[in-house]
Amino acid sequence: MTEDISYKDRFNPGDVISCALKGHEDYGSPSVYVLKVPSVSVSPSAEIMEGSSVTLTCSSDADPAANYTWNKNQTLVNKQQQLVFRSIQASDSGNYSCTAENQLGKRTSENTFINVEYAPKLPSLSVNPYAEIMEGSSVTLTCSSDANPAANYTWYKENQALIKGPERIYRFTSIRSEDRGIYYCKAENKHGQISSTSLLLDVQYAPKLSSVSVSPSVEIMEGSSVNLTCSSDANPAANYTWYKGNEDSPIASGQTFTITGVRAEHSGNYYCEAQNTRGRHKSTLYLTVSAGLNDI
């Protein structure tokens, strides 16, 4: 190529170079050659589980021997031929490449993707809207868990499975009072499973199904005592106000209204009004007082 003491040129893979004294070409120096593209091997070569030991080895046919550097996502991480993880973590996932370099140049391997798999982490459970939930409104529950491979989710209400699949979201398009209860989700992949903490879904609604009962339920005689009790399905719990006939002014408050020493003029329509922050509902009862024996 040249008869100079030094030789400089652009070398290509496969080029082998040696030198000799002029006139003694049969006694040439040991040859050198351009670096070949490094190869990367991973041990173990099967699935990589979080917490396991993993070794990446870079190899390149080079003379003189090569020096090696490792990059993760194009950032320098190591300057050894082997990159060793004693306990690999999920954050170690990424694209790795190695560069081999000697006096004749340097070559970089193709990217090797390291995919660290792990069981689902503790799921977080959220509800939207976060504020008070009114009956008839749209409500969304969301379950989120960090997992590789991605988790499947199972939704539960009071320990009863509702639905299972890849969907992280459980929706109520128009939530009902009977949907009130304790909900949680379970995240699962081939490496394990874990359940979220529980969430109380508190559905609020105005009083309904109100009723008034009387005790004793048999014939009410003058001079006796009688209890009128008002009941209503409501959330939050209802407050109760009692009225008689068409009067606008309440005669009592509380779930039970007691009349002692009943007289004939106590006969008539009674109604209670159940009320909470979501609305009100009225129920009516006609009370009949019978004359005592001394009046017959």
What is the pLDDT, as a whole number, of residue 13? 64
Answer whether residue 39 shows pLDDT above 70.
yes
Cis bond before residue 44 (omega within 30° of 0): yes
CB 291 within 8 A of CB 222: yes
What is the pLDDT, as a whole number, of residue 106? 87
Answer whether residue 296 shows pLDDT above 50.
no
Answer whether residue 293 shows pLDDT above 70.
no
Higher pLDDT, 205 or 63: 205
Pick from 225, 227, 217, 205: which is nearest to 274 by CA?
A: 205
Which conformational region is residue 157 in: left (phi greater than 0), alpha (psi within -120 to 50 degrees), or beta?
A: beta
What is the pLDDT, as a whole number, of residue 262? 94
Pick from 291, 293, 251: which is nearest to 269 by CA?
A: 251
Out of 14-18, 219-223, 251-255, least confident range: 14-18
What is the pLDDT, as a whole number, of residue 23? 80
Q: Which residues contact 49 (CB under 8 A, 6 or more apart)?
A: 116, 117, 118, 191
Give 81's DSSP letter: S
What is the pLDDT, as a whole number, of residue 1? 77
Answer whether residue 180 shows pLDDT above 90.
yes
69-97 average pLDDT score: 96
CATH superfamily membership of 35-116: Immunoglobulins (2.60.40.10)
What pLDDT digit, counting tens, does each position of 20-38 carry? Answer: 888 877 877 877 767 788 9
192-207 average pLDDT score: 96
Alpha-carbon distance 67 to 106, whole Å?
Answer: 9
What is the pLDDT, as a whole number, of residue 105? 82
Q: What is the dihedral of CA 79, 85, 88, 94, to 10 degrees?
A: 30
What pLDDT digit, counting tens, does each position of 45-81 carry? Answer: 889 999 999 999 999 888 788 999 999 999 999 999 9
Tokens at 19, concatenated:
């030198």
Answer whether residue 187 shows pLDDT above 70.
yes
**Count of CA atoms in the C-beta half-sphere (13 A) of 229:** 7
Residues of the chain with CATH 2.60.40.10: 35-116, 124-201, 206-295
Out of 29-33, 81-85, 103-107, 216-220, least confident range: 29-33
For domain 124-201, the CATH architecture is Sandwich (2.60)
Class of domain 206-295: mainly beta
Helices (H), strands (E): how many in the chain? Answer: 0, 30
What is the pLDDT, as a whole number, of residue 14? 65
The gap from C-alpha 116 to its chain's centroid, in whole angstroms, comes to: 21
